[in-house]
Amino acid sequence: ETTQLLLDVRASPNIASRRGALTPLMLAADSGSVDLCGALLRARADAALKNCNFMNAMDYAMGHQMRHEGETRQRFSAVVRLLDGVLAPTSSAEQAEARRRRRRRRRVAYAENDRIGILWYLDDEADEVLVREVAEEDQAHRAGVRAGWALLSVDGCEAELQSGPEARQQVVRALRPPVTLEFGRPLDFPEELWHPQLAAAPRDRRPHR
């Protein structure tokens, strides 16, 4: 009832606990509640999210399914089937499109006399250029962009940012106003978990302005 009440007021179905990074869907799957899992999925809960132990909702349901017998096993099997339908593999193009639609974006236009007050985080192991710090007076900060957000396009062009580490570095180093930058918030982690992770990143992987 509490979960449904929160969903009725449009609370995020993907908010994670500070301890363990447990989402409502993980807890529902762990309890074997098909109805609650269904309600959360209809509210766009992300079944692919993982907790601090790299477990998602399916892992919880399957664990109980293997350990129990009888009616209890049937209940968890129903949850597994429900989640399996959501997590069924799709083409890479469909996955990319789904991620694009789910991502909250901000487009920020810098005029010729503006200054880009962003400290970037570039890492060969990362798929994107990330914002490490953004000055409060920066246009992006006023638009809601924060540490952990990704740079998605420059003047509408995404290709070079997706071409590899060297190409991304060249794009960042060449950034000069006037320019329009498009940012996207982190997809795979709640912000309250992502920020400490970004802050703890090794200092020898030097960020770039």
**Please, what are the domains in the chain?**
1-88 (1.25.40.20), 97-200 (2.30.42.10)
Query: What gap in Å lies between CA 209 and CA 207, rounded to an integer?
Result: 7
What integer pLDDT is reported at residue 17 of this predicted model? 82
Query: What gap in Å lies between CA 105 and CA 138, rounded to an integer?
Result: 17
Lowest mean pLDDT among 41-45, 111-115, 144-148, 160-164: 160-164
pLDDT value at 135 more than 80:
yes
pLDDT by residue (tens digit) across 91-107? 556 555 555 555 678 89
With vertex at residue 146, the alpha carbon angle to CA 201 and CA 50, rounded to the nearest 5 degrees, is 60
Which of 103, 129, 127, 108 has its CA nearest to residue 184? 103
pLDDT range class, residue 79, cuts 50, 70, 90: very high
What pTM was estimated for this model as a whole?
0.48
Query: What gap in Å lies between CA 40 and CA 8, rounded to an integer?
Result: 11
What integer pLDDT is reported at residue 5 of this predicted model? 58
